[in-house]
Structure 1
Amino acid sequence: MSSHPRDHARVIPLRPVPADREPLWRDIVGDVLRRERNAQGRTLKDVAEAARISMPYLSEVERGRKEASSEVLAAAARSLGLGLADVLSLAQRELTRTAGTARTAGTARSAPARGSMGEVRLAA
């Protein structure tokens, strides 16, 4: 018999996620869309209809299960009263915050080498 209380669901991850793994872009963008939708007190159905996206697909995007095209992201952003640049900016801030948290935990990888013009050099 399980030791979990009957009124709480137990979440079993599909795949183990390493603690030092960088977050996926689709996870971050989905979180941003969901956070903005919830902040506006809007339903998934309402936003999906306004964006002309199926509700199940938008749900999958919000949960990071689908990698949405730029057209779908722009439509979802517009339905929330945002531009695509706004969503991407919020996602970039979240990614930076997440990366900063990983660095303070000592799990970040070394920064890539940068040339004199600021370009990133990949290691050979």
Structure 2
Amino acid sequence: MPGPAFDDEDGAGPRARPLLRTMFGDVLRRNRREQGRTLEDVARSAKISMPYLSEVERGRKEASSEVLAAVCDALRLELSDVLAEVGRDLAADRARRERVLRLDVALGRRAARPARRAGDTFCLAA
């Protein structure tokens, strides 16, 4: 199921916010890989199934606080450090999303939205 969508401040339409379970999974996977450990090794140490850990890492399962604590223990990480890393990733995601500037909004006018067709190109200025 997709995450909630919120209207952009400029009224351009909905934008998806990242799901917490996805962000947690990304951080856990990144740390596991940095340690050179396998899903099987970490799952065994955390006393959870390897398929379940895979689903958690891919953001498909909402892990309980007990499972998160067990995985953090298996990875020899403090839960507070994982939470801080998730927070940094969320802040970076927000900064990326806020860098997009619509020219019509910047110029103070609203352009009519033409129908989009396959092959249309868009210009982004930095």
Q: Which residue of 1 aligns with 2:110?
A: none
Gaps in structure 1 of 5+ consecutive residues = 1-13, 108-124
Give the greater-gyration-radius structure (CA): 2
**TM-score of the aligned structures, taking structure 1 as reference length:** 0.69
1:74 paired to 2:69: yes
Q: 1:10-89 to 2 correspondence within 5 Å?
A: 20-89=15-84
- Per-residue CA deviations over 1:2-34 (Å, capped at 9, x if unaligned) read xxxxxxxxxxxx97xx88211000000000000
**RMSD of Structure 2 on Structure 1 (CA):** 2.0
The SS at the match of 1:71 is helix
Runs of 4+ in structure 1 over 4 Å off: none
| Distance change in 2, residues 1:54/1:106 (3 Å) | farther
Count of residue correspondences = 92
Unaligned ranges ≥5, structure 2: 6-13, 103-126
> What is the TM-score of this pair, normalised by structure 2?
0.68
Aligned AA (1:102): R
Percent identity over the alignment?
54
